[in-house]
Structure 1
Amino acid sequence: MPELSEEDLTAVSSLRAAVMRLSRRLRHQRVDESLSPTEMAVLGTLCRCGSSTPGELARKEHVQPPSMTRIVAMLEAKGLVRREPHPQDRRQIVVTQTEQAEAILEESRRRRNAWLAELAGNLTEDEWRTLRDAAPVLEKLAEL
């Protein structure tokens, strides 16, 4: 890790705390209370990245493969994913989200976007500009 100035360390600490508080508040805007945040994250990954094997999902979600196997089984029992044979490797399966999952994700995004837009309505034009400029940087951090 590079040597950070005191000012940079303060900024990192402030960013961490703000992102955590905002994330916690966004989680409260859930559409389906029966889905855990982890289950929603897996559905979101399937939406963003397309069908995946449980191993690929485990890597993307930073969980152990046995945990992902349990998550996929729960999502399948709820009718939110389908497990299909892998097209090249019959020893594996591919997990695909269902239309029901897509509808839940869309409504969740709509609700969370509306909530966040309402909050952001309190920002000044300069703050909005800063937020628009920061969004790609925050996205990059989230993907690293």
Structure 2
Amino acid sequence: MTPTPDAPAELASVLRIAVVRLSRRIRSERDPELDLGLGALSVLGILHREGAQTIGSLAETERVRPPSMTRTVGCLVDRGLVVRNKNADDGRQVVVELSEEGWRVVEAERRRRNAWLARQLAELTADERDLLRRASDLLGRLATA
């Protein structure tokens, strides 16, 4: 029996490829002069969305080892994009948060990428945009499963 596009395994393959390609395309819209890797940008995004975090929490979210996250955070500190502070509840822990410059960079990057995506969406029909609006809710659910 030939799989149909509605079969979960077939849909998984098609959807995965489309999501990865779109994600890569959106990421490619970053400011080339910023000279930050995707991991560093992801950490900035987490701190922007969720607020101050420990290195361990950031490492867990990004699914990397704490020493790797420590290096990433160190680079961001050196660039003035984040600051390290003592954890108010446990002075042995360090909490990382965005600096004012970090906020500015994240906001600028989001505006840049959103503008690119908005231009692409403007080329679609109203029905296509409505379909994507509805699908975005489902994709969000899948992302947090």
TM-score (norm 2): 0.91
Once the two structures are superposed, what CA deviation does each residue of 1:101-127 show, in whole Å capped at 9, x if it has no partner? 111111111111111111111212211
Tell me what 2:122 maps to: 121
Once the two structures are superposed, what CA deviation does each residue of 1:33-86 show, in whole Å capped at 9, x if it has no partner? 411000000000001110010001111111111100111101000000100011
Shift of 1:142: 2.2
Q: Supply the AA of the counterpart residue of 2:22.
A: L
Percent identical residues:
45
Distance 1:142 1:71 in 2: 24
Structure 1 gap segments, 5+ residues each: none
Q: Supply the AA of the counterpart residue of 1:26.
A: I
Q: In the alignment, is residue 30 of structure 1 matched against residue 35 of structure 2? A: no
Distance 1:80 1:141 in 2: 31
Secondary structure of the corresponding residue to residue 97 of structure 2: strand
Secondary structure of the corresponding residue to residue 41 of structure 2: helix
Shift of 1:141: 2.1
Structure 2 gap segments, 5+ residues each: none
Q: What is the root-mean-square deviation in Å for CA atoms of aligned residues?
A: 1.3
Tell me what 1:139 maps to: 140
Moved more, 73-82 or 5-14: 5-14
Distance 1:17 1:33 in 2: 28
Aligned ranges 1:29-108 → 2 under 5 Å:
29-31=29-31, 32-108=33-109
Secondary structure of the corresponding residue to residue 94 of structure 1: strand
Count of residues in Structure 1 that have an aligned counterpart in Structure 2: 140
Q: Supply the AA of the counterpart residue of 2:37.
A: S
**Structure 1 ranges of 4+ moved more than 6 A:** none
Shift of 1:27: 1.1
Distance 1:118 1:143 in 2: 27
TM-score (norm 1): 0.92
Shift of 1:95: 0.3
